[in-house]
Structure 1
Amino acid sequence: MDGSAPAALGVAPEDRLPDGFAVRLDPRTRRRDGGATLLGGSPLRLLRLAPRARELLTGDRLVVRDAATASLAASLLDAGLAHPDLAAGSAGDGGADVTVVVPVKDRPAELARLLAALRAGPGTAALPIVVVDDGSATPVRAEGVVVVRHEEARGPAAARNAGLRAVRTPFVAFLDSDCVPRPGWLTALLPHLADPRLAIVAPRIVGLPGRGWLADHEAVDGALDMGQRAAPVRPLSGVSYVPSAALLCRRSALGAGFDEALRVAEDVDLVWRLAAAGWRVRYDPSAEVAHQHPTGTGEWVRRRAFYGTGAALLAARHGSLVSPLVIAPELAAAVALVAGGGRAGRAAGLATLAVRAARLAGRLARPGERPRVGLAVFLVGRSAGAAARALSRSVTRHHWPLTLIAALVSRRARRGALLLAVADGLLAWLPHRRRTGPVRHLVARRLDDLAYGSGLWAGALRARSARALLPTRPTRPPRPPRG
């Protein structure tokens, strides 16, 4: 640890999900064995349903009616197998219970744009607003809002905490000054707060229209965009954090708020501490908030590198949760052998995967059943594919300095690195091929990775610790409390 004490959080309640709360299975969740098992989530897991649970989950939607259905719904939510399926306006007293907190420094035009959007938006026109002026050269002047001023800049975490202390409503929405919420964003997020253990729900961050060659890339692959699928947010999952540019929070969960010692990655730290304390955090892309991304090349690269520096700070607080490569060593070795080990290597790698599948087939079978060979092969194949993608990202993003050294001394490594760099960029471009060109997307992705990796290594050197660079074995995350 770095010696700084994180801000205290609120205590997660023991209350179960309320009657009327509904969840719906994720479209990617697969039913097997006549509905006796569910396969899905992130990381991928196989959930066996007890007979009573099978009786309760007769379709894709489950409505909480009692303690049993509440427990099952919570299990499905926490496993990532289902998501809330709630009617708009079903959260307590609604938007009247929300205060908006806006941290700002030297962005008068952006602040005016945000306030205008809030005052014109459905459900937000009458919301109380607290603007925290974090040492702007010209003090903020705005009508109809509470202004809290720091004479000297103390950073975004301290600014948000100052606003949090001024909030008197049970819920608080944090919006950065360079954001413009889309109509209906708050209405879409509020129903999630019916879950008494939900601390934060985050919208999707999309890019404001911009100019420059990077604008198209930001529109389809922005650093703050967590994608188009709803998800639980927790470490070592498909959505491991949500950016603090736009958040709707339960004030009692945040306690003292963000860790003010962090000038970067304070949002990741908060989410991970909340998850460890038993709170839920969710991502809902049906709500959108537009963000003014930097599109000048120099500013864009510096911002990406700045994000990378946060990994070392997180490693000091959260250890291996920040590892850039979470992979089983034997799986990594098998994939590497198949990819580049020649004929003998491919044979050895495939044999390793076959043994892994054979062992798993026996473990998947219920007592008295035959080994589940088909399911085991599917799971091992999927794991191998995920391992291949993780190794590729390690080579081209997190550990590119090592890749560069290898490429300088080995022609084979040089060819392999070039092939991976091009293949990774093109595969990332395919889902967006109707919105951007392949060459531009490939160049932007490579610049993004080089900048982030540079920041990652610079942060590690500054911290004099390699923890943010080291791979780790996958471990099953602690089971959150049910309810």
Structure 2
Amino acid sequence: MTAVPAPPQERLPDGYAVRLAPGTRRREDGAALLGGSPLRLLRLAPRARDLLAGDRLTVTGPATAALAARLLDTGVAVPEPAGPAPGPDDVTVVVPVRDRAAGVARLLGALRADPATAGVRVLVVDDGSADPAALAAAASGIGVEVLRHDRSRGPAAARNTGLRAATTAAVAFLDSDCVPEPGWLEVLLPHLADPRLAVVAPRVTALPAARAGWVTAYETAVSALDMGPSPAPVVPLTGLSYVPSAALLARRAALGDGFDAGMRVAEDVDLVWRLAGAGWRVRYDPAARVAHDHPTSTAAWLWRRALYGTGAAPLAARHGSAVAPVVVSPWSAAALALAAGGGRPGRVLAAGTLAVATARLAARLAGPGRPAPHGLAAALVLRGTVAAARTLARAATRHHWPLTAAAAVVSRRARRAAAAVAVADAVLAWWPHRADVGPVRFAAARRLEDLAYGAGLWAGALRAGDPRALLPARPPPGGPAR
């Protein structure tokens, strides 16, 4: 596994600020914060409570820096970065490409049209193109250099070639099918004021298609590259566990040898998880946007989804349970299994299981001199159980659909349950995007996407002889934090 260096021990600089994230709630008269992913109750010491008098905290010294870092790392706050950071003249853009000259020309045009990136150095890494002259012509211009691999070595190796050639403090990786929107780099660069931040990623949106295909509306609405509208830390086994390498801004010193060139897929996930494991911070900021030329051919789109699925096996070999397709607590799993398969006695036992889980959680949440908050605990247990039900239902139609199909062949009850789950999953996922794509097309595309991804997942696990990419995991430690 490619190593990354340890982060420096420097604190956040003065002027750096954090604000409570949307969804974070104050409890116990402001002495505790409920939020983050996984959801946790963060209790504030009296001094910390005094420092965080409102919803925003500005770093003015070691004490506020330590509190701001704690709020960021638990996910209950989002940054408003300020302080010393590289400028655009200290950024190198690396573009890995193979046989996509028109895309490179379009990308370079977008960079030169944006005043903030008009003068950045650009390294185009030709990963064994069949027509290198055409790519060199498309990449001609002041400040653009073409580095060539005589044979294709994969996107990870191409990015590493650009990384080694860069001499600036920051490196921006942009795929050749991307078009950054004006101002994207100005939004991302201030994040590097955090000395422990290794990578920050923009939101990857859909580039308007010149010729729309059957899948275009669905892919525009729910692309696998689009991490959504909310800023967040990127941490394994949480609500945002990775960011795609289609567009990244990185601190060059944090990357070490860079991407694992032995991985032809999921190398971006691997890099993020190695950085997180070494203690670096990785963030996602959707205020910066980069458009991506999504596939319009249904066959190409399904092939890409299957390819993504094959990446789980090498990730499991490197990172174990971090790649688990299902993350669910034993309490929720037991309650759902009892309710689903035990008839009336099972439902009674399920209720009892949740009651015990509620009592245990209430005892953990009880503050000094305060009664156990059974109402809050019950709400959190119910919320977690509903989320677990959705996670398991999703896995039944996506990650583990071969098992679902096998059960449906031999059991009428399983067929009915699978059909109900598939319909419910499609409706719930479609509803937020109902203005952008019709329900029938959305449902059909979602089922096809899940079939392709699941097929790739199982093929990769079988080829590797390693089932860990198919196995569930427990959530990371959450609950009360101090």
- If the length of structure 2 is used for normalisation, what is the TM-score? 0.96
Contact 1:204–1:283 under 8 Å retained in 2: yes
Question: Aligned letter for 1:104?
Answer: V
Contact 1:18–1:70 under 8 Å retained in 2: yes
Structure 2 Cα separation of the partners of residues 309 and 91 of structure 1: 41
Structure 2 Cα separation of the partners of residues 116 and 427 of structure 1: 40
List runs of 5+ in structure 2 lacking aligned partners: none
Give deviations 1:28-78, integer Å, cap 9, x for gaps.
001001111101101111101100000000111100001000000000000
> Are 1:300 and 2:301 an aligned pair?
yes
Structure 2 Cα separation of the partners of residues 213 and 452 of structure 1: 18
> Are 1:12 and 2:7 an aligned pair?
yes
Corresponding residue of 2:277: 276
**Deviation of residue 355 (structure 1)?**
1.5
1:78-477 paired onto structure 2 within 5 Å:
78-86=73-81, 91-139=84-132, 140-141=135-136, 142-143=139-140, 144=142, 145-210=144-209, 211-339=212-340, 341-476=342-477
Give deviations 1:140-177, integer Å, cap 9, x for gaps.
31222111000100000000000001101100000000
> Are 1:55 and 2:54 an aligned pair?
no
Contact 2:233–2:282 under 8 Å retained in 1: yes
Corresponding residue of 1:481: none
**Deviation of residue 315 (structure 1)?**
0.3
Contact 2:237–2:476 under 8 Å retained in 1: no
Give deviations 1:369-396, integer Å, cap 9, x for gaps.
3221111111111111111111111111
Give deviations 1:305-355, integer Å, cap 9, x for gaps.
000000000000001111111212332120233345433222221121112
Alpha-carbon distance change, 98 to 468 in structure 1, aligned in 2, over 3 angstroms: same
Contact 2:243–2:284 under 8 Å retained in 1: yes
SS of the equivalent of 1:398 reads coil
Contact 2:86–2:192 under 8 Å retained in 1: no
SS of the equivalent of 1:152 reads coil
Give deviations 1:92-142, integer Å, cap 9, x for gaps.
241111010000000011111001111111300100000000000011312
Structure 2 Cα separation of the partners of residues 232 and 164 of structure 1: 24
Structure 1 Cα separation of the partners of residues 94 and 12 of structure 2: 28
- If the length of structure 1 is used for normalisation, what is the TM-score? 0.95
Question: Aligned letter for 2:171?
Answer: V
Question: Aligned letter for 1:193?
Answer: L
Structure 1 Cα separation of the partners of residues 394 and 341 of structure 2: 16
Contact 1:312–1:467 under 8 Å retained in 2: yes
Alpha-carbon distance change, 337 to 104 in structure 1, aligned in 2, over 3 angstroms: same
SS of the equivalent of 1:203 reads strand
Contact 1:407–1:413 under 8 Å retained in 2: yes
**Deviation of residue 239 (structure 1)?**
0.7
**Of 37, 45, 53, the match for 1:42:** 37
Question: Aligned letter for 1:83?
Answer: V
Give deviations 1:210-247, integer Å, cap 9, x for gaps.
20121111111001111110000010111100000000
Question: Aligned letter for 1:351?
Answer: G
Structure 1 Cα separation of the partners of residues 471 and 428 of structure 2: 26
Question: Aligned letter for 1:203?
Answer: P
Contact 1:209–1:215 under 8 Å retained in 2: no
**Of 60, 66, 72, the match for 1:71:** 66
Give deviations 1:263-309, integer Å, cap 9, x for gaps.
00000000000001110000000101011111211110000000000
Corresponding residue of 1:480: none
Count of equivalent residues = 470
Structure 2 Cα separation of the partners of residues 9 and 352 of structure 1: 43
When structure 1 is superposed on structure 2, of 138-147 and 283-292 the one drifting more is: 138-147
Structure 2 Cα separation of the partners of residues 30 and 330 of structure 1: 25
Structure 2 Cα separation of the partners of residues 368 and 104 of structure 1: 62
Question: Aligned letter for 2:127?
Answer: D
Give deviations 1:160-195, integer Å, cap 9, x for gaps.
000001101100000000000011111111110100
Structure 2 Cα separation of the partners of residues 303 and 435 of structure 1: 23
Alpha-carbon distance change, 257 to 293 in structure 1, aligned in 2, over 3 angstroms: same
Question: Aligned letter for 1:196?
Answer: P
Contact 2:215–2:298 under 8 Å retained in 1: yes
Contact 1:91–1:190 under 8 Å retained in 2: no
SS of the equivalent of 2:468 reads coil
Structure 2 Cα separation of the partners of residues 191 and 85 of structure 1: 9
Q: Alpha carbon RMSD of aligned pairs, Å?
A: 1.2
Structure 1 Cα separation of the partners of residues 21 and 367 of structure 2: 25
Structure 2 Cα separation of the partners of residues 359 and 166 of structure 1: 55
SS of the equivalent of 2:78 reads strand
SS of the equivalent of 1:467 reads helix
